[in-house]
Amino acid sequence: MLDRMLATFAPLMLSVLRIATALTFLSHGTAKLLGFPDLGRAGPAMLSLSGVAGLLELAGGALLVIGLFTRPVAFVLSGLMAFAYFIGHFPRGITPIGNGGEAAYLFCFVFLYIA
């Protein structure tokens, strides 16, 4: 009985997970490209690797918040975070806790689940 009751909330909880994750991800894009919140460093050049990542974070995060093209956007963002993890974090160590890649790691798998 408890399983059936909890199962009725599964779609709602998936939406909560999607929106909360997307808002957090969106804040990375706004910080990089719009300077809000101010992180005390200059923004990247638009066509640099970090600039393109910021555009994907901004646009993809916004699309996921409103639920538009959710699955394809989540799939692209999962790939972005896998790429970010292996390019930016993995060379510093094998474990996410040791190389500072916990956020990229979690974003990757949450987005893959949403996709």
Supply the pTM of this predicted model: 0.90
User: Which residue in this structure is represented by tokens 């974003």?
Assistant: 107
H/E segment holding residue 107: helix 102-114
Per-residue pLDDT reduced to its tens digit, 32-59? 888 887 777 777 777 888 889 999 999 9
Per-residue pLDDT reduced to its tens digit, 94-109? 999 999 999 999 999 9
Per-residue pLDDT reduced to its tens digit, 55-77? 999 999 999 999 999 999 999 99
Q: Give me the pLDDT at residue 60, please.
A: 97
CB 23 within 8 A of CB 61: yes
